[in-house]
């Protein structure tokens, strides 16, 4: 069994999948044996969930820092003492994606994995890959697999928290984000509307810019925990090609783990 881990700033997502499940015709979505997420305080639950699997490999994307990686490694060694955790890091090229970051290794490994998944799932298409979590990342990828660069902005709740931190108003985005009125008549709703439409505006701007750059249509691929709050608003934009694709990072790790098994450093 292959264990995939996406260690993010707020949560750790994980999936187990048959280590031999991939082939030249990758199915989408992957046939996960199990998939879930835990908070940084819930690693014991991760161990309980996977301890009955025969895990022979583990590939991890980690943007949460060394302390999180070490804690996960220590816990996994309890049930799987011989398990080697392979770190997935951004590189100049992998699985058809060419990384044109100024310093390719400094690109977040989660962003690189997401682009690998999107490029494989939507071949021969110009893509904007928007991953909406604690932060929102918006990345441009050509049909040939060239990563041109991207944007990073605060995620929905982080944006709302920052706006409201000096007031008594601290809206929970999930309670207001799907309201249809752009011009709100309540402070909490106004904050939510501003945050949602700031995200939508940045994503739409990226799509239009890549269309100008390539002279061809662009497919938006949106993922992440906060994507569900943006999707209703994407539906209102005419001529926007978009797909909501879940678990892009884990899917990218799965693809890369098979195509580059021998080259992922431990």
pLDDT of residue 84: 87
Following CA atoms 224, 225, 228, 233 in sequence, which dihedral angle do they give, to the nearest 10 degrees?
-60
Q: Is 12 annotated as a binding residue?
A: yes
Q: Answer with the residue of higher pLDDT: 187 or 211.
A: 211
The mean pLDDT of 46-53, rounded to a whole number, is 92
Tell me if domain 2-90 and domain 97-250 are identical in fold.
yes
Q: Is 6 annotated as a binding residue?
A: yes
* Distance, CA of 30 to CA of 19 (rounded, Å): 12
The mean pLDDT of 34-60, rounded to a whole number, is 93
> Strand, coil or helix: what is 95?
coil
pLDDT of residue 127: 98
pLDDT tens profile 243-262: 999 999 999 999 998 875 54
Contacts of 164 (CB under 8 A, 6+ apart): 170, 171, 191
pLDDT tens profile 52-96: 999 999 999 999 999 999 999 999 999 899 998 999 999 999 999
pLDDT of residue 170: 53
Q: Is 82 a residue of the active site?
A: no
**Concatenated DSSP letters of 209-245:** HHHHHHSS-EEEEEESTTHHHHHHHHTTSTT-EEEE-
Closest of 150, 137, 139, 161 to residue 225, by C-alpha: 137
Identified catalytic residue from 20, 110, 139, 146: 110
Q: Is 134 annotated as a binding residue?
A: yes
Q: Answer with the residue of higher pLDDT: 248 or 183.
A: 248
Q: Is 120 annotated as a binding residue?
A: no
The mean pLDDT of 120-136, rounded to a whole number, is 96
Residues 180, 114 contacting (CB under 8 angstroms): no
pTM of the model: 0.90
The mean pLDDT of 224-235, rounded to a whole number, is 92
CATH of domain 2-90: 3.30.420.40
Q: Is 11 annotated as a binding residue?
A: yes
The mean pLDDT of 100-115, rounded to a whole number, is 97
CA distances from 213 to 11, 69, 207, 210, 216 (A): 35, 39, 10, 5, 8
- Whether the predicted pLDDT of 266 surpasses 70: no
Could you tell me the fold of the domain covering 97-250?
Answer: Nucleotidyltransferase; domain 5 (3.30.420)
Q: Answer with the residue of higher pLDDT: 54 or 164.
A: 54
What angle do the packed helices 156-164 and 187-214 form, to 10 degrees? 130
Q: Is 111 annotated as a binding residue?
A: yes
* Distance, CA of 214 to CA of 210 (rounded, Å): 6
Q: Is 155 annotated as a binding residue?
A: no
Please report, for the chain, the start and end positions of each structural domain, with discontinuous segments joined by +. Answer: 2-90, 97-250
pLDDT tens profile 141-163: 999 999 999 999 999 888 888 87
Q: Is 187 annotated as a binding residue?
A: yes
pLDDT of residue 175: 57
Q: What are phi and psi of 110, to 5 degrees?
A: -70, -40
Q: Answer with the residue of higher pLDDT: 190 or 169.
A: 190
Q: Is 10 annotated as a binding residue?
A: yes
């Amino acid at each position: 069994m292959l264990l995939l881990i996406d260690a993010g700033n707020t949560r750790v997502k994980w999936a187990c999948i048959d280590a031999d499940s991939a082939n030249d015709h990758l199915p989408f979505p992957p046939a996960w044996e199990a998939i879930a997420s835990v908070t940084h305080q819930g690693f014991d639950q991760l161990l309980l969930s996977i301890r009955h699997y025969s895990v022979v490999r583990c590939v991890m994307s980690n943007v949460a820092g060394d302390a999180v990686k070490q804690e996960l490694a220590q816990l996994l060694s309890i049930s799987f003492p011989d398990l080697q955790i392979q770190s997935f890091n951004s590189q100049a090229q992998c699985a058809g994606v060419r990384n044109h970051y100024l310093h390719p290794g400094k690109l977040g490994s989660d962003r690189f994995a997401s682009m690998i998944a999107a490029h494989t799932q939507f071949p021969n298409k110009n893509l904007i890959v928007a991953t909406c979590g604690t932060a929102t990342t918006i990345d441009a990828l050509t049909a040939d697999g060239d990563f041109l660069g991207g944007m990073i902005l605060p995620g929905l709740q982080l944006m709302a928290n920052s706006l409201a931190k000096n007031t008594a108003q601290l809206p929970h985005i999930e309670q207001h984000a799907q309201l249809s009125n752009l011009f709100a008549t309540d402070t909490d709703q106004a904050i939510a509307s501003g945050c949602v439409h700031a995200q939508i505006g940045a994503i739409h701007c990226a799509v239009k810019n890549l269309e100008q750059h390539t002279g061809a249509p662009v497919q938006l691929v949106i993922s992440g925990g906060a994507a569900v709050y943006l999707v209703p608003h994407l539906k209102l934009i005419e001529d926007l090609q978009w797909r909501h694709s879940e678990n892009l990072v884990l899917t990218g790790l799965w693809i890369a783990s098979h195509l580059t098994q021998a080259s992922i450093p431990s």
